[in-house]
Amino acid sequence: MNKFKILLLATVCFVGCSEKNQKTQETASQKEEKSVAKESRNQVLFVVSNAHYYGKSEIESTNHFPEIILAHNEFKKAGYKVDFVSPKGGAIPIGYIRSSDSLIKDYLYDATFMDELEHTQKPTDIAPENYQAIYYPGGGSAMFTVPENQAIQEITAQIYERQGGIVATVCHGTAGIVDIKLSDGSYLVAGKEVNGFPDLFENKKAPYYQQFPFSIQEAIAAHGGIFRYSEEGWDGFMVADGRLVTGQDPTGADKVAQKVVALLTNKDATL
């Protein structure tokens, strides 16, 4: 074999091996990208409030801790990662805590989880394309700072429209979605069955209620929504209308999360 043939074979071998290695590297890169994409699809965003008081009063308000952890526990069991966003970022007030409850106790002693509540993200930190669902827990604080926050409204609208994601709320958390508009100018709740904490169970003469910026039930109706609720109450009542899932009170928090998981995993034919 002459020198020319040897050189040619060496060149062919070098090019072929390089192409093979490049393809292997590209395949590994593609796998990594798919892994990242899959992780992004397994993220749920929780919207919480920084409000420590009912409006301008000195009446303390908090986020409803059980409504946070009951849903969080369901998403965690299903393999979803949860992030927290609040209008200002940072620490949020929590309440309605019964230390005798084993799940509440577990979460209170979970340093990582509690650190996340102390360092919630700001809306500017959030990339909506990373989330397939967004969840609004309640508590008195949910009536303030969240409903009027335009940045959070836009995040929710993008998750719902561009991502084809799910919007979920429970109790007073429903206040956070009443003013959200979609790209065509219509309200998110328009024409949909929606649940939340009904006027029936509000004490409208109480000082706390006098601070409320609006009635959830009336706002839903005013924006074209169909407000559905249980007159019995505290019975796990919730409503699912397509990709909008809403619950009435704390007893519906885990059920709302379960429904969201079912929709995300295509286990529910009603989607």
Domain coordinates of the chain in residue numbers?
43-264
209-212: long-range pairs with CB below 8 Å, 24+: 211/54, 211/55, 211/56, 211/57, 211/59, 212/54, 212/55, 212/143
Query: How many Cα atoms sit within 13 Å of 169 on the Cβ side?
Result: 28
**What proportion of the chain, given as a percentage, has pLDDT over 70?**
83
pLDDT band at 267 (very low <50, low <70, confident <90, very high): low
Q: Is the pLDDT of residue 202 over 70?
A: yes
* 178 neighbors 189 (Cβ within 8 angstroms): yes
**What proportion of the chain, given as a percentage, has pLDDT over 90?**
82
Q: What's the mean per-residue pLDDT of the chain?
A: 89
Q: Record the pTM.
A: 0.86
Q: Is the pLDDT of residue 157 over 90?
A: yes
CA dihedral 66→72→78→84, nearest 10 degrees, is 170
* 81 neighbors 264 (Cβ within 8 angstroms): no
pLDDT band at 162 (very low <50, low <70, confident <90, very high): very high
* Strand 238-241 with 244-247, pairing: antiparallel
* 201 neighbors 215 (Cβ within 8 angstroms): no
**What does the pLDDT read at residue 14?**
39
Q: Is the pLDDT of residue 142 over 80?
A: yes
* 47 neighbors 82 (Cβ within 8 angstroms): no
**What does the pLDDT read at residue 266?**
84
Q: Is the pLDDT of residue 117 over 90?
A: yes
**What does the pLDDT read at residue 268?**
46
Q: What is the mean pLDDT of residues 124-148?
A: 98
Query: Tokens 């590297």 identify what position?
Result: 25
pLDDT, tens digit, 9 for 90 and up, residues 73-113: 999 999 999 999 999 999 999 999 998 999 999 999 999 99
**What does the pLDDT read at residue 20?**
47
Task: For domain 43-264, give its CATH number from 3.40.50.880, 3.30.70.20, 3.40.50.300, 3.30.750.210.
Answer: 3.40.50.880
pLDDT, tens digit, 9 for 90 and up, residues 7-66: 434 443 433 444 444 444 545 544 444 444 445 569 999 999 999 999 999 999 999 999
Q: Is the pLDDT of residue 115 over 60?
A: yes
**What does the pLDDT read at residue 40?**
55
